[in-house]
Amino acid sequence: MATTPALPAPSADVDLSARDLSVDLARVFAVVVVVIVHMLMIGVGIHDGQIVVTQPLQRQPWYVPATLFGQVMPLFFALGGFATLTSYRRRDLTAAEFIRKRTLRMARPTLSVFVVFALAGWLAFLLGVDPELVNVVLAGVGTPLWFFAAYLLCQACAPLMVRLHRTHPLATFVVLAAGAVAIDTARRQSGHVSIGWLNFFFVWLFVQQIGFLYAERVFHRRRILTLGVFLAAASLLAVLVLNRIYNTDMLYNLNPPSVPLMLLGIAQLSLLVLLHPALEKLMRSRVAQLVVFAIGTRLMTVYVWHMTCLLLVTGVALLIPHGLPDPASGAWWKSRPLVLLATFALIFLISLWSVRFEKAPHIPDGFRGPGLPWALVAVVVAFIPMFAITDWGMDRWLALAGLIGLAATLVLLRPQRVAVGPPTRGRAG
């Protein structure tokens, strides 16, 4: 999810004055929250000698209202919009070049994870491991991959959306919002959940457009107006959920995405603006800069590997006598900080190898990137298996499909040698 330019290593000779460090902090905060939520949502225990997987977080009486604060993905998409518009201002990229770069920055680190998923899934199947257990594990570690499909769609549409924002900003917001409402209404009236997947387009592009406003500092100009926007979005969200028009559980509203996420995105970005002075002050600290740098330069690695690392930490705990407390017990809750630290330590070790994949490779002299049609084909090839995983959950077949799809995407986006024709002969005389 590399959305904003990587935070430079803090040092005495690096000028951070031109960066909005509060954005870097917000992105890191959002990813850490995602890791914590996923750690609390999955509880692995032993019952009658069998491994049992439960969902301890959902059992808590405070779970549903807590999702209003723990659902941070709208903020991440909004900050992605900030990064998109900022990139267009700073770099002279064609649509094909932008799409190629963003796709590679997502596909390269994710491919390495799919190598592990596919090999582990098929090896377990060939060794006779209970297929149901294998599918549960694969579905669990594949849970975060919906983001790949949704964000890839937004980035593929970004060149068009930037153009529309410059020419018809208000109309673009109105069309996206109306489309999201129409899809939710059709889904509710028909009872067909599958209709809601069309909001992959309307909801997330709307939230991305909000980030364009942040990049233009529209939210920053009048803080009292920003406070009003925050209160209006929060109030409308409260009306929708208290009247049971939408589910109060913001994780339930995530896939398929629905209108509450749009309102949550507006509220979260408004709150970020209101907190901006305090966050800027915090980010003057060298400690804060180092922490944000350490995590911010490997965000995609953290995101795509954290479920696998949580699984590995849990597996090690299974080998330790009494190392796996009953999920949701007092001992289990007390063990969570240690599990979180162990997970991030493992992610950091993996990142020493994988962080190199988070940057799109440079196109050497004498080569060029693919044209726009081939770049879009590469996006579709990567999108299809990721969307299938989002809808159906990952199993060994979809793990293999994801591996093949991402590998094909990298092939389609590889640099192509520029054809050099024979020298032109001058005319005699």
Task: Write the DSSP assignment of 253-273 as a string of letters.
Answer: TTTTT-HHHHHHHHHHHHHHH
- Note whether residue 9 is domain-resident: no
- Note whether residue 148 is domain-resident: yes
- Note whether residue 128 is domain-resident: yes
Contacts 24+ apart (CB under 8 A), 169-178: 169/212, 172/209, 173/206, 173/209, 176/202, 176/205, 176/206, 176/209, 177/202, 177/206, 177/262
- Note whether residue 7 is domain-resident: no
- Note whether residue 13 is domain-resident: no
| Cα–Cα dist 370/367, whole Å | 10
With beta carbons less than 8 A apart as the criterion, state whether 130 and 382 touch.
Answer: no
Pair of tokens at residue 13: 């000779």
> How confident is the model at residue 422, as a pLDDT?
57
Q: For residue 429, give the 3-state DSSP assignment.
A: coil
Q: Which domain holds residue 225?
A: 21-359+372-415
The structural domain count of the chain equals 1
> How confident is the model at residue 9, as a pLDDT?
41
Question: How does pLDDT run across 263-285, given as a tens digit for each residue?
Answer: 999 999 999 999 999 999 999 99
Question: How does pLDDT run across 38-64, given as a tens digit for each residue?
Answer: 999 988 877 776 777 788 998 899 999
- Note whether residue 290 is domain-resident: yes
Sign of CA dihedral 239, 242, 243, 246: positive
The segments of the chain whose pLDDT lies below 50 read 1-17, 424, 426-429
| Cα–Cα dist 235/251, whole Å | 19
- Note whether residue 78 is domain-resident: yes
| Cα 318 to the center of its chain, rounded Å | 30
| Residue 52 φ/ψ, nearest 5 degrees | -120, 130
| Cα–Cα dist 196/255, whole Å | 8
With beta carbons less than 8 A apart as the criterion, state whether 143 and 310 touch.
Answer: no
Pair of tokens at residue 292: 């944000």
> How confident is the model at residue 375, as a pLDDT?
96
pTM comes to 0.89
> How confident is the model at residue 421, as a pLDDT?
56
- Note whether residue 5 is domain-resident: no
Cβ atoms < 10 Å from Cβ of 424: 6
> How confident is the model at residue 137, as a pLDDT?
84
